[in-house]
Amino acid sequence: MMAGTSPTAGAAAGYRPSATMPFGAEFRRQASRRRTQLALGFMVLLPLIILIAFQFDTGDDDDNGRGEFGSLVEFATSGGLNFTLFTIFVSASFLMVVVVALFCGDTVASEASWGSLRYLLAVPVPRARLLTVKLVVALVYSALALLLLAGTALLIGTLRYGWEPLRSTVAAQLEPGEGLLRLLGVLGYLAVVLLVVAGLAFLLSVVTDAALGAVGGAVLLWILSSILDQITALGALRAFLPTHYSTAWLGLLSTPVQTDDVVRGAISAISYATLFWGLAFWRFTRKDITS
């Protein structure tokens, strides 16, 4: 390119790369997709399912080996904050991972599988802008899913069990106001940890045309990392696994608050996510788009 030549030289009058593929249009487009509606709907439905399941628990089976589960039920039904914490606890290790992988792994691969990706780039939408908009929209929907899960659990849990102090096995009883802040901290930390899943799923979405492969690959690699983290023979190497600090949010519920592992986990997650996103942009801006 000659010095002084605009990168849009030769383009149609009024063409501005930054005006292509607006965020709002992509957000509405993804909102109209069935997988988005089902995923967000299930995040609202799950707390309702748990609440209904608790109504069938009569407490008559305490002598039949259900003591541990019974204590969890007693904890979860002792207040709206505790019900929310229980819902987050049972969802964090798998459901949240799948939902984030779905939003971030399906976003580019689905366009390729439909054969529409090359037409988007022919509009023309700059490749970096296309990836940026799709990534931001996927992250917004992932965050919305987590908020819907926690918000629904807090609402129905409070209506059913009341606005009671937050209890946990690692802390003194916390007043509702402070307990709510602790829960928001837990949810925020989980959102940061799940950036690893978002980055990995997004990278796989760029390198494959199969959306299911991108989503499933991210989930399987997360599970593999979790399994390896349980092998104590790996010693200090486990600290480099992306799932090693995935449960560090428990420190936010302790008295006093333990933040050392939370900080390490946040740094690890952001580092992995940045690496995966960087690789995704590097690969996509250099690959031939044939689908």
The DSSP call for residue 172 is E
Q: Has residue 4 got a pLDDT over 90?
A: no
- Cβ–Cβ < 8 Å for 71, 132: no
- Confidence tier at 284 by pLDDT (50, 70, 90): confident
Instruction: Give the phi and the psi of residue 225 in degrees, each rounded to 5.
Output: -65, -40
State the virtual CA torsion across 165, 167, 171, 175 in degrees, nearest 10.
Answer: 0
Q: Has residue 281 got a pLDDT over 80?
A: yes
- The mean pLDDT value of the chain amounts to 85
Two tokens at 187? 């949810």
Q: What confidence score (pLDDT) does residue 129 get?
A: 87
The Cα 70–Cα 258 span in angstroms is 28
pLDDT digits (tens, 9 = 90+) for 27-56: 999 999 999 999 999 999 999 999 998 888
What type of residue is 163? W
Q: What confidence score (pLDDT) does residue 75 get?
A: 82
Q: How far apart, in Å, are the Cα atoms of 26 and each of 32, 153, 157, 166?
A: 10, 29, 34, 39
Q: Pick 254 or 63 by higher pLDDT.
A: 254
256: preceding bond cis by omega (within 30 degrees)? yes
Q: What confidence score (pLDDT) does residue 67 get?
A: 47
Mean pLDDT score, 95-117:
87
- Confidence tier at 71 by pLDDT (50, 70, 90): low
Q: What confidence score (pLDDT) does residue 291 get?
A: 53
Q: How many Cα atoms sit within 13 Å of 130 on the Cβ side? A: 22
Strand partners, 171: 168
The Cα 233–Cα 231 span in angstroms is 5
- Confidence tier at 210 by pLDDT (50, 70, 90): confident
Mean pLDDT score, 145-166:
95
Q: Has residue 215 got a pLDDT over 60?
A: yes
Listed by start position, the domains of the chain span 22-58+65-284
Instruction: Give the phi and the psi of residue 4 in degrees, each rounded to 5.
Output: 85, -5
Residues 6+ apart with CB under 8 A from 38: none
The Cα 79–Cα 22 span in angstroms is 43
Q: Could you tell me where the DSSP H helices lie in the chain?
A: 23-31, 34-55, 67-76, 80-92, 95-106, 109-114, 117-121, 127-161, 176-193, 195-207, 211-229, 260-284
Q: What confidence score (pLDDT) does residue 21 get?
A: 76
DSSP string, 49-101: HHHHHHHT--STTGGGT-HHHHHHHHHHTS-HHHHHHHHHHHHHTTHHHHHHH
Q: What confidence score (pLDDT) does residue 254 get?
A: 86
